[in-house]
Amino acid sequence: MNGPLRIGIAGLGTVGAGVVKLLAQHRNLLGLRGGRALDLVAASARSRAKKRDIDLAGVRWEKDPLALAKAADIDVVVELIGGSDGIAKRLAETALRSGKHLVTANKALLAMHGTELAELAEQRGLILSFEAAVAGGIPIIKALREGLVGNRVRRLYGILNGTCNYILTTMRETGRDFGAVLAEAQAAGYAEADPSFDVDGIDAAHKLAVLTGAAFGAKVNFPGVHVEGIRRVTSMDIGFAEELGLRIKLLGLARETRYGIEQRVHPCMVSLDAPIAHIEGVFNAVVVEGDFVGNTMFQGRGAGQGPTASAVVADLVDVARGRHMPAFVVPAAKLADKKVSPMDRHQGAYYIRLMVQDRPGVIAAVSGALARERISLESMLQRGRSQSDQVPVVLTTHETEEAAMRRALARIAKLKVVAEEPCVIRIEAF
């Protein structure tokens, strides 16, 4: 423990470059905080010739990232390649099997193989850390492992994707629709050229699966996450939400129910009284409800070079200090194989926006379809006539079961007076 912690890093993109910069800039400070020097020994990336704003003088270059895992002069491998399989998975497994600690920012890898990697690390007495994989610079994994470890988590929820939060915030502030704001986000670098992982909710679902494992002592179960994105959210719905005292956010939510673990990622309407309603732009936030501590909220930048590099280096300092903690709070062999709570069993309130023909009897027909499923209304907004002979009708319901709501919506969609598929957004009470 007296010698330096010898680091090999795979992947020198935005985050990798940030880690190199941070290690160099705070070398002395990190040595004091880690109890020994943190030395970058070797690096690997797709192209050595690519121009990077980092100093790699004295750092050995490895063409094959797997060489980092096998090198005798490396203690910990930092995996920043990305992807749930392929070279990233091989590197993670090889590093652990070769006796190297592993630090990763790869939420997709952890969502698909986190339980197996945790088991492998613990079998070999090694550290697996992944603070940077969820919510960037927000220390939420450390909070679950340490600060909140005395609590039984009742529920957690949060804004886990900054791209979606930026898009929804900008739609609300400008009145523009999804497509136009997405194009602007891509031009500004907030969204990828192919934004599917972000806007379709997959990125947030990866992160939620990892958080759920840590919060509830459960095996990581990405296939058990119900996922919906934000493509169908319109500026009209955002406007109606504000009129109702609500705000639309893409949230990841997890809780234990009598049917099993409920994991959901989808657009939600939340009260303007809820603190999470006011997390705007590219920021992330996570709320953890503990049985003793109550509600705790963590917020900050969920991506970017600096915040994510900060989280990676925090893990490296833990490795330097020899802080051996189970990756998912409890030993991997003790992680529960919990049932998935079916989405049909979800209980909650709903926002329904219909485009209907402006004629007598419409409201009665819609109300009848809801009444057949014993769904009661809390409020209704109805607009006057329009040139197109189609007007929006907005309904909010009291709490009901998802399965009943889906049956009612199927009947409503078949009504001749309903011009398009109903827009439905779940309302969350916090």
Q: CA distances (Å), 226 to each of 152, 172, 252, in order?
A: 23, 25, 10
Give backbone dihedrals phi and psi of 16, rounded to 5 degrees, phi first. Answer: -60, -45
Tokens 């939600």 appear where? 268
C-alpha 46/C-alpha 222 separation (Å) is: 29
Instruction: Give 300's strand partners.
Output: 284
C-alpha 420/C-alpha 412 separation (Å) is: 10
What is Dmax (Cα atoms) for the chain?
A: 82
With contact defined as beta carbons under 8 Å apart, do 202 and 266 qualify? no
In 119-159, where do the E strands start and end? 128-129, 153-159
Burial (Cβ within 10 Å: 0-12, 13-18, ≥19) of residue 90: middle
Token pair of 317 as six digits: 């300092």
Q: Which of 142, 207, 219, 249 is catalytic?
A: 207
- 207 included as an active-site residue: yes
C-alpha 430/C-alpha 287 separation (Å) is: 10
DSSP of 221-290: -GGG-EE--STT--HHHHHHHHHTTEEEEEEEEEEEETTEEEEEEEEEEEETTSGGGG--TTEEEEEEEE
Which residues are annotated as catalytic?
Answer: 207
